[in-house]
Amino acid sequence: MTEEAPEPSPPHDPTTAHVRAACKGSLASIHWLVERMTPALLSQARYHLRGLPEATDVCEDLTQDVWAVVLFRLSDLEPRDGRMTPVLSAFLTKTMRNRALNWLRRRATEARAGVPGGGVATASSLASSTLDVIHRLTRQEHVDLLNRALQQLDEEDREILILRGLEEHPYEDLTVLLRADVGALRMRFLRARARLKAILPESIFDELGSD
Give the tens place of pLDDT for each residue, 35-55. 888 889 989 999 999 888 888
The residues, ordered by sequence, that sit 6+ positions from 21 with a Cβ below 8 Å of its Cβ are 4, 5, 6, 7, 28, 29
The residues facing 26 across adjacent strands are 2
Would the pTM of this model clear 0.85, i.e. be above it? no
Terminal C-alpha separation, the chain? 37
Encode pLDDT of 51-108 as tens digits.
888 888 888 889 888 998 898 898 899 998 888 988 999 999 999 999 999 999 988 8
- Tell me the pLDDT tens digit for each residue of 183-202: 999 999 999 999 999 998 87
The dihedral of CA 166, 67, 88, 209: what is its sign? positive
pLDDT score recorded for residue 126: 57
Q: Where are the domains of the chain?
A: 14-207
56 vs 63: CA distance, rounded Å: 11
Contact 87, 79 (CB under 8 A): yes
Q: Which of 10, 135, 23 is nearest to 85 (CA)?
A: 10
